Structure 1
Amino acid sequence: MDFTVSPRIAELRERVRAFVADEILPLESDTTSYNEFENIRMDLRNQIRAKARAAGLWAPQMPQARGGLGLPMAEQAIFYEEANRSIFGPVCFNCAAPDDGNMRCLEMAASEEQKARWLQPIVDGAVNSSFVMTEPHPGGGSDPSMIATRAERHGNRWKVHGRKWFISGAAVASHFILIARTDPNPEEKRRQLTAFLFHRDQPGWRIVRRIGNMGPDEHGGVCELEFDGLEIDDSDRLMEIGDGLRLTQIRLGPARLTHCMRWLGLSKRCMEIAQDYVSTRTGFGIRLAERESVQLTLGEVAHAIQIGRLLVMHAAWKLDQGDRARKEVSSAKIHVADTLFKAVDTAIQLNGARGYSTDTILEWIYRYARAAKLVDGASEVHKMVLARFYGKEGSDYWQWG
């Protein structure tokens, strides 16, 4: 790996940082900026998005031909980290979940006709999207082979029946990617699933409820969906019949890593808030920043953040080389999720009651951070992945090639 940052990306990083500081950070302290789910109001989001697009800071993961910046994964890491210096940053640059992963997935897997219909409106910011996979027990979650929602073929149409839940962004999404079972053969586990595209206005499905949680919520929250005969034309099938598992792998691997990129930005923001406070707050005749215990605590978090950045960059570099980087992504996901929680917990502790209050955004980040150990595969699942690789590879697990 070469850690040299090109002058072009260094300049882009500074522009993102300046835009966040000038246009987005001031919104966090204004209560009128938030909707009822503690995220940026959609109309205000759209105003800032227009400014970001005009500034040439739009859709960093998408090709330039589609109106994006065309950044490879390693350069996206630099952009995303700066974008999430604000809790509102990624969504204003059109690089927030779930649209971020859905756009990347469609760009890689959809036909040109499908891209024109289903992808480009997401890139343009005209619609939101959602990825529909997770199911209630006994259906599929971290193990997609358990997916029970079924799609049955009737001529050139598919009829879908089943139930999904914790579907991010569903309440505001117009474009959906659905994973359903099309082959009940238990002997063909890797060919049982197929991916489909559907629009919110199609009949035969409904949102049962928006599931309440610790929050704050992404736009569209997490929802429970019921399918009772949704009909999908075969032209809206994504990839080949039986390629659903492959599609989930295309979708989820890079998306896990871009989560980590964003979380590192939030972790650094927590450190900024903590450092600013301990540098000025005095007690018993000494600034908090001069106390060894405080220095050790901040040093430990800074150490963890830097390890996370190196893990993310290594995984991003491997993805840019065409590798699936499964070990590297899982390692980054485990570590950075823990680091985000550690960073915000430390910042709250050092800020005392101020950190626990709504006078800072730390309590917002604290509630948000708890989900990091769960989304896109619980930490325990990723540790199992690493254990399987080690069991298979032995000492070769750590080879550089």
Structure 2
Amino acid sequence: MEYHDSEKATEVAGRVEDFMEEVVLPREREALATGEKITMDEIEDFWDQAKERDLFAPQVPEEYGGQGLDFSDMLPSFEQVGRSLIGALAIRANAPQEGNMHTLEMVGTEKQKEEWLRPLVQGDIQTAFAMTEPKQGGGSDPKMLQSTAVKDGDEWVINAHKWWTSDGMDADYYLLMARTDLDAHPYEGTSIIMVPREADGVEVVRNVPHLGGHGITEREGGHAEMKFDNVRVPVENTIGEENAGFEIAQMRLGGGRLTHCMRYSGMAERSLEVAKAYLSEREAFGSTLEEKQALRHRIADAETRLHAARCMVRHAARELDRSDARIEVAMAKMFTANVTNEAIDLALQCCGGNGIGKDLPIAHFYENVRSFRIVDGADEVHRRSIARWAFEDIDETEVENALQFDEDLRIDELDG
């Protein structure tokens, strides 16, 4: 399909695709076949090769070691890396690191950018985003945030219980959301604070067992449960304006949701490619499965819906350049999450026993994609936002006219 991406976006995405096909996917296939985990030395070698090909950290400004692509221009590259279980990691565009880089680049001070953003881009440090809390804390309803940070002189004293802290097992620093003005509404009294792992009172409780996680790299990453007990950090570790944490998080999540959409679109695309190749070779009931009309129609539906999702993401990205595009992003994220789930499920079904086997990547994709309907905003949360937008501008006169039309129609039917 031709999406009329810019010449730059198309050119870079083409080179990313070549890098995936020539370097990353062969090593992934080997790891899946042998069970031999990909080492961090190998990941760092991927980074070196990505730098040589001008592909490293495409989302980061050049002054900090990235390629400096505009947001819309980098999306096609994110789709290409999504085709591999380790593609995003191989070019340093993996979540949550990518989102944390974006946050520091958007609102960090020059000192913070030099201290944290530059080494983060290069892979010298790892970070995590600590927002979600166990019940009854902040989650789908972030207003329920329980974490607090109280000023004591020039320090924050932080008390928090977090979980689902992505990459929390390996992180050197945590971008932690906590209430910093307990008298204000959480949306207006919450800050993001950088907390070093080595600070007294920081405890990594466990890696929360979860669906997915392909386990083909040495990096544990994980989704950590964390406790912060009277942790002291300098007030200057506040990322962005004090008490503006929710606004900053929304800025981070808007773009992050769209980059997730493209990565998962890449997963779905590769899954369908594997399935179509299998259907063309597998014979049953007198012909190849490719010739069975029911399967052909289901593949056609999946391709159509995936095309629609790609168009929605690109439209939301264009709107995001002009406004917060909250509803456009919500629609794109919710729709793409469901489309990619359905497409990968279909691909697995088409491949039968080979689909549930882990010689192919589809089973791994299947496990990973299910979480996309929950992370970065559950379907129900996005539907709630979309529904609120859909109903907020209803004109009472239009409602009365519609009701009257319905009554007239009913009377006409009775008369007829």
Cα distance change of structure 1 residues 370 and 392 upon mapping to structure 2, 3 Å threshold: same
Q: 1:208 aligns with which of 201, 205, 209?
A: 205
Letter in 2 for 1:284: F
Superimposed CA distance per residue, residues 258-281 of structure 1 (whole angstroms, 9 cap, x where no aligned partner): 100101111100111011111111
Which whole-Å deviations, capped at 9, do the CAs of 1:107-126 have from their partners, x for residues lacking one? 00111111111111111121
Q: Tell me the CA shift for residue 128 of structure 1.
A: 1.5
Match of 2:60 in 1: 62
Equivalent residues in 2 for 1:1-400, closer than 5 Å: 3-31=3-31, 40-185=38-183, 188-216=185-213, 219-321=220-322, 323-394=323-394
Conserved? CA contact 1:33–1:41, under 8 Å: no
Amino acid at match of 1:167: T
State the distance in 1 between where 2:13 and 2:138 align: 39
In 1: Cα distance, 2:393 partner to 2:20 partner: 44
Query: CA 1:176–1:35 in structure 2 vs 1: closer, same or farther (change >3 Å)?
Result: farther
- Matches of 1:30 and 1:133 in 2, distance apart? 36
- More displaced stretch, 129-138 vs 386-395: 386-395
Q: Call closer, same or farther: CA 1:57–1:71 in 2, change over 3 Å.
A: same
Cα distance per residue 1:142-195 (max 9 Å; x no partner): 222211111111000111112011110011111221111111225x34322111
The alignment covers a number of residue pairs equal to 390
C-alpha deviation, 1:34, in angstroms: 8.9
Counterpart contact for 2:33–2:359, Cα < 8 Å: no
Q: Which amino acid aligns with 1:373?
A: R
Structure-1 separation of matches of 2:162 and 2:88: 26
Letter in 2 for 1:192: G
Partners of 1:340 and 1:108 lie apart in 2 by 30
Contact 2:59/2:70 (<8 A) preserved:
yes
Q: Is the 8 A contact 1:34 1:41 kept in 2?
A: no
CA contact (8 A) 2:279 2:351 kept: yes
User: Who wins on radius of gyration, i.e. which is larger?
Assistant: 2
Q: Would the aligned equivalents of 1:90 and 1:96 in 2 still touch at CA under 8 Å?
A: yes
Query: What's the CA shift for 1:129?
Result: 1.1
**Overall identity of the aligned pairs, in %:** 34
**SS of aligned partner of 1:44:** helix
Give the match's secondary structure for 2:344.
Answer: helix
SS where residue 149 of structure 2 aligns?
Answer: strand
* Secondary structure at the counterpart of residue 158 of structure 2: strand
Q: Per the alignment, in what secondary structure is the counterpart of residue 308 of structure 2?
A: helix
Following superposition, the deviation at residue 32 of structure 1 comes to 7.4
> What is the CA–CA distance in structure 2 between the aligned matches of 1:258 and 1:34, rounded to whole Å?
31
SS at match of 1:360: coil
TM-score scaled by length of structure 2: 0.90
Which consecutive unaligned segments of at least 5 residues does structure 1 have? 396-401
Counterpart Cα distance in 2 of 1:174 and 1:393: 47
Which amino acid counterpart does residue 270 of structure 2 have in structure 1? R
* 2:404 corresponds to: none
The one-letter amino acid paired with 1:100 is: E
Cα distance change, pair 219–338 in 1 and its aligned pair in 2 (3 A): farther
Match of 1:398 in 2: none
Distance change in 2, residues 1:199/1:189 (3 Å): closer
CA contact (8 A) 1:35 1:41 kept: no
Instruction: Quote how far apart the aligned CAs of 1:35 are.
Output: 8.4
Contact 1:72 1:320 survives alignment (8 Å): no
Out of 46-55 and 258-267, give the one that drifted further: 46-55
Instruction: Tell whether the 8 Å contact from 2:264 to 2:340 is kept in structure 1 after alignment.
Output: yes
After superposition, the C-alpha distances for 1:361-385 in whole angstroms (9 at most, x for unaligned) are 1111111111111101111100001
**2:158–2:229 Cα contact (<8 Å) kept:** yes
The CA distance in 2 between the partners of 1:95 and 1:34, in whole Å, is 26
- Name the stretch that deviates more: 349-358 or 281-290: 281-290
Gaps of 5+ in 2: 396-416
- C-alpha distance 168-40 of structure 1, shift in aligned 2 (>3 A): farther
